[in-house]
Structure 1
Amino acid sequence: MFVTRFAPSPTGRLHKGHAFSALTAWTAARAAGGRFLLRIEDIDPTRCRPEFEAAIVEDLAWLGLDRDGPVRRQSDHLSDYAAVVHALGTRGLLYRCFRTRKDILDAIGDAPHGPAEAARPGPHPAAEEAALLAEGRPFAWRLSLDRAREALGGEAWDALAFVETGRGPQGETGRIRARPETAGDVVLARKDAGTAYHVAVTHDDALQGVTHVIRGEDLFEATHVQVLIQALMGWPTPVYRHHRLLVGEDGRRYAKRDRSATLAELRAAGVTPEALRKELGF
């Protein structure tokens, strides 16, 4: 069965870009006679707020989008994601990294082979790590690409791939070889935060039986890392469809941080859901 999801983060009100993404996924699910799930990705406690979650449900109902099954709220399942991090750690695939974001950015300028090299800092020497731990310095758990490659084996590593039925930012489509090395040794958890986006999203897609991931092209590059995590955990890789991003009259894509007009504001201004759906091509 075709199963897809709309998975916003409750860090603000939904705008036209969110409406386009939700409509794209909902329409695909209904056309296939499949399921459309709503997932609330609220693993960032500093930015996510319950009033925005309630607003998401309200906005989707106004758009006329029904859903199948209960809403999954990620903050209710942090122990699930911690278990994934623990499983990868016990296999020796993670290492502690005490470097700050500034340290990594500074290293990019010094890396002879560019940003990808700087994003793979590698473990600290044992004595240095022990001293930093004794000081109580905060750290992140990074996924070691070198160890991941060894764990999978060369043939499996070379076979990492996903099917793209939409288009990536550079027109990528069809069967695409995954290139997790372009992202470097990604952070999967921090001392003060039990999980990162890549862990939570891949876990939930597997748990909920998501067969098709439909989302904006800004998340295309994240797919390369997520395919690797799926392979390491023995989870299936969904079919992906990355869609274009809506832009406003100024040519900039809609974004919460730019205070793009929200669906609530459009509703208050008298815009009907039928008119908005038509404007968005549905």
Structure 2
Amino acid sequence: MRVITRFAPSPTGRLHLGHAYSAALGRKHGARWLLRIEDLDPGRARPEFVVGIREDLAWLELEPDGAPIVQSERTHLYAAALDRLKAQGLVYPCFCTRADIAASLTAPHGDAGSAYAGTCRGLPDDPDRRAATPHSWRLDAAKAIAAAGGVPGWIEQDGSRHEGSAAMIGDAILARKDAPSSYHLACVVDDADNGVSLVVRGADLKPSTPVQRLLQVLLGLPEPTYLHHPLVLHDDGRRLAKRDQAPTLAAMREAGVDGRALADALGVGILPTGYRLALP
């Protein structure tokens, strides 16, 4: 069977070396390699960064197979998937603000997404309130796990099987107040719709896998294989991040780096001087 992979950046800043490593690895493993623009964050996504993504990939000579898949043009698919979960009684509206959620956490430093206290879970359905009040939609994790017959595991590209657990899955947001879908829901819908059979992404996204596998089971979507690759770090161990102004591919291009040679080297795990891969 032909392996289909995808590169799915968010247009919220310029790409850096970590993105190039993920793209080169995906291109290497996929007989068909897709580009997906994950632009559902209205507060941060910018058209100029979409242009930048295409410029950077052209410089690397990593040409996607087919036109880009643009999530903002596919919101009807996410709405249909959410409706299916609503019909199964597996989601509920959440009216909490970020401040509400932070205040409800037992640990001040906790993750407000995975540690949601369930404040709105079990509220009586009130269509008038939903019509008048901005709200997100959350997965009822306990009901969802029961409906799926347990937490599904997943297979990594090396053939190893990973088992999920209920502790890995909170009441994840599936549609936000300001966006038609969360990363989790849009990701699984798009991967299935585009026939992605191998998900190549950074190890920092591995914790997303249990809830996404659960959604695949609930929605009757096929199970891909996963390749969670090590992150690219500075030699001193610092992560590359847009918010930390990591050196961009655009800056490397302006400095005269050969993009094709860089992509070829990244595809076999060779990084430029000053960078290393995180230890497993």
Q: Same fold (TM over 0.5)?
A: yes
Amino acid of the structure 2 residue aligned with 1:7:
A
- 1:254 corresponding residue in structure 2: 240
Q: 1:276 aligns with which of 262, 266, 276?
A: 262
In structure 2, relative to structure 1, the CA distance for the partners of 1:37 and 1:279 (3 Å cut) is closer
- 1:161 corresponding residue in structure 2: 153
Amino acid of the structure 2 residue aligned with 1:256:
K
Q: TM-score, normalised by structure 2?
A: 0.86
Q: Distance in 2 between matches of 1:8 and 1:267?
A: 19
- 1:101 corresponding residue in structure 2: 98
Amino acid of the structure 2 residue aligned with 1:125:
L
Larger helix share, 1 or 2 = 1
Q: 1:266 aligns with which of 252, 261, 277?
A: 252
Contact 2:197 2:225 in 1 (8 A): yes
Q: Distance in 2 between matches of 1:95 and 1:123?
A: 7
In structure 2, relative to structure 1, the CA distance for the partners of 1:182 and 1:121 (3 Å cut) is farther
Contact 2:42 2:179 in 1 (8 A): no
Q: Distance in 2 between matches of 1:20 and 1:161?
A: 26
Q: Distance in 1 between matches of 2:115 and 2:216?
A: 23
Runs of 4+ in 1 over 3 A off after TM superposition: 114-122, 129-132, 134-137, 277-282
Are 1:56 and 2:49 an aligned pair?
no
SS at structure 2 position matched to 1:157: coil
Identity %, equivalent residues: 45
SS at structure 2 position matched to 1:247: strand
What's the offset of the Cα at 1:131? 10
What's the offset of the Cα at 1:138? 2.3
Q: Distance in 1 between matches of 2:119 and 2:144?
A: 15
Q: 1:177 aligns with which of 160, 163, 166?
A: 163
In structure 2, relative to structure 1, the CA distance for the partners of 1:132 and 1:184 (3 Å cut) is farther
Write the mapping of 1:23-38 to structure 2, written as runs, cut at 5 A: 23-29=24-30, 34-38=31-35
- 1:77 corresponding residue in structure 2: 74
What's the offset of the Cα at 1:60? 0.7
Amino acid of the structure 1 residue aligned with 2:5:
T
Q: Distance in 2 between matches of 1:66 and 1:42?
A: 20
What's the offset of the Cα at 1:146? 2.0
Q: Distance in 2 between matches of 1:234 and 1:63?
A: 37
In structure 2, relative to structure 1, the CA distance for the partners of 1:235 and 1:258 (3 Å cut) is same
Q: TM-score, normalised by structure 1?
A: 0.85
Q: Which runs of 5+ in 2 are unaligned?
A: 271-280
- 1:147 corresponding residue in structure 2: 143
Q: Distance in 2 between matches of 1:206 and 1:252?
A: 34
Q: Which string of whole-angstrom CA distances, capped at 9 and with x for unpartnered residues, describes residues 57-77 of structure 1?
A: 111111111221221111111
Contact 1:119 1:184 in 2 (8 A): no
Are 1:13 and 2:10 an aligned pair?
no
- 2:123 corresponding residue in structure 1: 125
Q: Distance in 1 between matches of 2:252 and 2:59?
A: 11
- Count of matched residue positions in the alignment of Structure 1 and Structure 2: 264
Contact 1:122 1:144 in 2 (8 A): no
Q: Which string of whole-angstrom CA distances, capped at 9 and with x for unpartnered residues, describes residues 108-165 of structure 1?
A: 2179xx9866444452533xx649928933221111012213322xxx315x111023
Amino acid of the structure 2 residue aligned with 1:22:
A
SS at structure 2 position matched to 1:220: helix
Q: CA RMSD in A?
A: 2.5
Contact 2:14 2:250 in 1 (8 A): yes
Q: Distance in 2 between matches of 1:131 and 1:84?
A: 20
